Structure 1
Amino acid sequence: MQIAKYSNYTLPDFLEDDDFLRFVISPSQNDTVFWQQVAAEYPQQTEIIAEASKIIKAYRKQDVFTNEANQSKVWLRIESSLQKDQVKPKIFSLNKYLRVAAMLLLVSSIGISLWLIKGRQNEIDTAFGELRTVTLPDGSTVVLNGNSKLTYSGNWDKKSREVWITGEALFNVKHINKDPRHVKTIERFIVHCSDVNIEVLGTTFNVRNRHDKTNVGLVSGKIRLDYLNPRSKKESLVMKPGDYIEYGHKKLLARTKLAAPEKITKWTKHQLLFNDASLAQISEIMTDDYGYQVDFSSPDLANFKIEGEINVPNVEELIETISTTLPVKIIRTDKNITITKLNP
Structure 2
Amino acid sequence: MQIAKYSNYTLPDFLEDDDFLRFVINPSHNDTVFWQQVAAEYPQQKEIIAEASKIIKAYRKQDVFTNEANQSKVWLRIESTLQIDQAKPKIFTLSRFLRIAAMLLLVSSIGISLWLVKGRQNEIDTTFGELRTVTLPDGSTVVLNGNSKLTYSGNWDEKSREVWISGEGLFNVKHINKDPRNIKPTERFIVHCSDMDIEVLGTTFNVRSRHNKTNVGLVQGKIRLDYVDAASGKLSLIMKPGDYVQHAYRKTLTRMILPVPEKITKWTKHQLLFNDASLAQISEIMTDDYGYHVDFLNPDLANLKIEGEINVPSVEELIETIATTLPVKITRTDKNITITKLNP
> What range is the shorter-chain TM-score in?
0.7 to 0.9
CA displacement 1:74-109 (0-9 Å, x = unmatched): 7xx9xxxxxxxxxxxxxxxxxxxxxx9668449xxx
| C-alpha separation in 1, matches of 2:189 and 2:299 | 43
- Pick closer, same or farther for the CA change 1:114–1:278 going to 2, 3 Å: closer
Tell me the amino acid that sits aligned with residue 158 of structure 2. Answer: K
Question: Which residue number in structure 2 is paired with residue 148 of structure 1?
Answer: 148
CA displacement 1:105-160 (0-9 Å, x = unmatched): 49xxxxx9993221121111111111111100000001111111111111100110
| C-alpha separation in 2, matches of 1:340 and 1:115 | 48
| C-alpha separation in 1, matches of 2:285 and 2:271 | 12
Tell me the amino acid that sits aligned with residue 167 of structure 1. Answer: G
Show the 5 A alignment for 1:147-226: 147-226=147-226
Tell me the amino acid that sits aligned with residue 119 of structure 2. Answer: G
| C-alpha separation in 2, matches of 1:272 and 1:113 | 35
Question: Which residue number in structure 2 is paired with residue 263 of structure 1?
Answer: 263
Tell me the amino acid that sits aligned with residue 116 of structure 1. Answer: L
Moved more, 251-260 or 168-177: 251-260
Q: CA deviation at 1:251?
A: 3.2
- Pick closer, same or farther for the CA change 1:38–1:300 going to 2, 3 Å: closer
- Pick closer, same or farther for the CA change 1:119–1:36 going to 2, 3 Å: farther
- Pick closer, same or farther for the CA change 1:193–1:177 going to 2, 3 Å: same
Q: CA deviation at 1:25?
A: 8.9
| C-alpha separation in 1, matches of 2:48 and 2:269 | 25
Question: Which residue number in structure 1 is paired with residue 68 of structure 2?
Answer: none
- Pick closer, same or farther for the CA change 1:53–1:313 going to 2, 3 Å: farther
Q: CA deviation at 1:225?
A: 0.7
Q: Of the two, which has the highest radius of gyration?
A: 1
- Pick closer, same or farther for the CA change 1:49–1:334 going to 2, 3 Å: farther
Tell me the amino acid that sits aligned with residue 273 of structure 1. Answer: L
| C-alpha separation in 2, matches of 1:40 and 1:242 | 42
Structure 1 residue ranges without an equivalent (≥5) = 6-16, 65-69, 78-99, 107-111
1:244 aligns with 2:225: no
| C-alpha separation in 2, matches of 1:103 and 1:248 | 34
| C-alpha separation in 2, matches of 1:228 and 1:58 | 25
Q: CA deviation at 1:29?
A: 5.5
| C-alpha separation in 2, matches of 1:22 and 1:130 | 31
The count of corresponding residues between Structure 1 and Structure 2 is: 291
- Pick closer, same or farther for the CA change 1:203–1:143 going to 2, 3 Å: same
- Pick closer, same or farther for the CA change 1:329–1:252 going to 2, 3 Å: same
| C-alpha separation in 1, matches of 2:202 and 2:40 | 36
C-alpha contact (below 8 Å) 1:190/1:198 kept by paired residues: yes
| TM-score, structure 1 normalization | 0.73
State the SS of the aligned residue for 2:159: coil
CA displacement 1:270-327 (0-9 Å, x = unmatched): 1100011111110110111111111112121111111111111111110000001111
- Pick closer, same or farther for the CA change 1:286–1:39 going to 2, 3 Å: farther
Q: CA deviation at 1:39?
A: 8.2
CA displacement 1:28-81 (0-9 Å, x = unmatched): 45786465458899xxxx9x99996897679998499xxxxx99xx7xx9xxxx
- Pick closer, same or farther for the CA change 1:122–1:23 going to 2, 3 Å: farther
- Pick closer, same or farther for the CA change 1:50–1:178 going to 2, 3 Å: farther
| C-alpha separation in 1, matches of 2:12 and 2:266 | 36
- Pick closer, same or farther for the CA change 1:114–1:315 going to 2, 3 Å: closer
Question: Which residue number in structure 2 is paired with residue 296 of structure 1?
Answer: 296
Show the 5 A alignment for 1:1-344: 27-28=20-21, 33=32, 36=36, 62=75, 104-105=105-106, 115-231=115-231, 233-344=233-344
Structure 2 residue ranges without an equivalent (≥5) = 25-30, 60-73, 79-93
- Pick closer, same or farther for the CA change 1:113–1:288 going to 2, 3 Å: closer
- Pick closer, same or farther for the CA change 1:233–1:128 going to 2, 3 Å: same
C-alpha contact (below 8 Å) 2:113/2:121 kept by paired residues: no
Q: CA deviation at 1:249?
A: 3.5
| TM-score, structure 2 normalization | 0.73
